[in-house]
Amino acid sequence: MRTSRILALPALAVLALGLASGSASASTLSEGAAIADAPDCIDVSSKGRTATAYNECDTSERIKFIWAFAPDSSCRSVGAGKSTSHTSSYVTARFDGIQDC
């Protein structure tokens, strides 16, 4: 039994290192970045668990907010020159960008 514990600890340490390095690189999304094919004319910002998209396009666009560790928002329409925001209720939420829908 003791041998299996000794072997399990290094495996857990390697797993923890892998998870830590993966989450560190994934959280480097810069302001204004987007996922998929969301138009470049939509300006995106986030602070904490609230993200805002401002539509600088000439037409209305349908977008959704993409979150890691929380559910994504539903699709919503944002008119030209208008903005929309989404706040995640999940404490673990990390904003990952927007997506066309």
Q: State pLDDT tens for residues 13-72.
A: 433 434 444 433 333 344 445 455 689 999 999 999 999 999 999 999 999 999 999 999
Question: Which residue pairs from 26-33 have beta carbons closer than 8 angstroms and sit at least 24 positions apart in sequence?
Answer: 26/68, 26/94, 27/94, 29/95, 29/96, 29/97, 33/97
For the chain, what are the domain ranges? Answer: 30-100
> 9 pLDDT band (50/70/90 cuts)?
very low
Classify residue 17 as left (phi > 0), alpha (psi -120 to 50) or beta. alpha
Q: What is the pLDDT of residue 35?
A: 52
Phi, psi of 86 (to 5 degrees): -140, 130
Note if the pTM is more than 0.95: no
CATH T-level topology, domain 30-100: Immunoglobulin-like (2.60.40)
